[in-house]
């Protein structure tokens, strides 16, 4: 894997907050709990709790960052939620396009909307497209993701709830694996993580092991078979430096 000499700073950006459940991976949503706590604390951005909301005042935040960043988009929601108007999604994508010194990662459980948008616009080269696959019931998301004309397509296998070793990884560049966190976390078996790692190695896909999760918190932290897996595609190939 090609390495970059750029020192990357990681950020989150939430021009959209809130979501609604679509699959079993949503059952113990961390973002919902955080949003409700912030609502109870009187934080204005979360006055509607975890209901879907757009935030005009957050749109220009990435324009202020001068140094290159890897930006996780909508950690507190889903940019592709059907309640978010196309016009606002387009404005978010336009900000990303203008900020071509940064790489943006969009993770959505609704990749079919990304695919539809990708068919209508020129997808920005610095915007990575990803979806969540927690079990075999959501394999249809993989086909939608493959239709997104992104330079990097990635899968978050988190929370990993079952064996998905037979998933079709064609056209995928990066895979991140993690167990569920929180007090009611459902356990992830080591053989599930190993199978995905071995598939990624065999198929030349960057592999990132995030965490074991709450059910196995003391069983090794972020290590899998004695090492930390922090692979990712080199972001500098998608950037324009001025």
The pLDDT value recorded for residue 94 is: 98
Q: Which residue has the tokens 């975890």?
A: 50
What are the DSSP E strand ranges found in the chain? 9-13, 16-17, 53-54, 69-73, 103-108, 127-132, 153-157, 174-178, 206-211, 223-224, 227-228
Using only C-alpha atoms, the chain has a radius of gyration, in whole angstroms, of: 18
Q: Kindly tell me if the per-residue pLDDT of 219 is higher than 90.
A: no
Mean pLDDT to the nearest integer, 228-235: 92
Helix residue ranges per DSSP H, 54-189? 86-98, 111-118, 140-146
> Can you tell me whether residue 27 is helix, strand or coil?
coil
Task: Pick the range with the lowest mean pLDDT from 24-28, 149-153, 212-216.
Answer: 212-216
CB-CB neighbours of 104 under 10 Å: 24
Closest by Cα among 21, 108, 100 to 65? 100
Q: Kindly tell me if the per-residue pLDDT of 189 is higher than 50.
A: yes
The pLDDT value recorded for residue 237 is: 65
d(CA 100, CA 103): 7
Cα–Cα distances in angstroms (integers) from residue 80 to residues 65, 110, 119, 168, in the given order: 24, 6, 15, 23
Q: Kindly tell me if the per-residue pLDDT of 67 is higher than 50.
A: yes
Which option is the CATH number for 9-238: 3.20.20, 1.10.720, 1.10.3470, 1.10.110? 3.20.20
The pLDDT value recorded for residue 182 is: 83
Write down the domain spans for the chain. 9-238
Do the Cβ atoms of 155 and 206 come closer than 8 Å? no
d(CA 165, CA 179): 15
Q: Kindly tell me if the per-residue pLDDT of 173 is higher than 80.
A: yes
């Amino acid at each position: 894997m090609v390495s970059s000499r750029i020192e990357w700073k990681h950020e989150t950006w939430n021009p959209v907050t809130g979501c609604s459940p679509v699959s079993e991976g949503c059952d113990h949503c961390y973002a919902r709990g955080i949003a409700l706590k912030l609502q109870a604390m009187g934080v204005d951005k979360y006055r509607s709790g975890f209901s879907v909301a757009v935030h005009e005042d957050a749109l220009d935040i990435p324009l202020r960052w001068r140094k290159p960043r890897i930006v996780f988009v909508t950690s507190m929601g889903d940019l592709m939620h059907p309640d978010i108007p196309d016009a606002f999604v387009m404005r978010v994508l336009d900000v990303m396009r203008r900020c071509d010194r940064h790489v943006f990662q969009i993770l959505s459980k609704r990749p079919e909307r990304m695919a539809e948008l990708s068919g209508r616009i020129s997808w920005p080269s610095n915007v990575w497209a990803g979806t969540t696959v927690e079990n075999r019931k959501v394999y249809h998301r993989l086909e939608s993701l493959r239709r997104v004309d992104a330079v990097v397509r990635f899968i978050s296998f988190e929370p990993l709830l079952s064996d998905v070793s037979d998933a079709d990884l064609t056209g995928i560049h990066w895979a991140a694996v993690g167990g569920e966190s929180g007090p009611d976390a459902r356990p992830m078996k080591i053989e599930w993580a190993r199978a995905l790692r071995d598939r990624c190695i065999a198929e030349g896909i960057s592999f990132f092991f995030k965490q074991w999760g709450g059910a196995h918190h003391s069983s090794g932290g972020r290590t899998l078979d004695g090492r930390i897996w922090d692979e990712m595609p080199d972001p500098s190939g998608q950037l324009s430096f001025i």
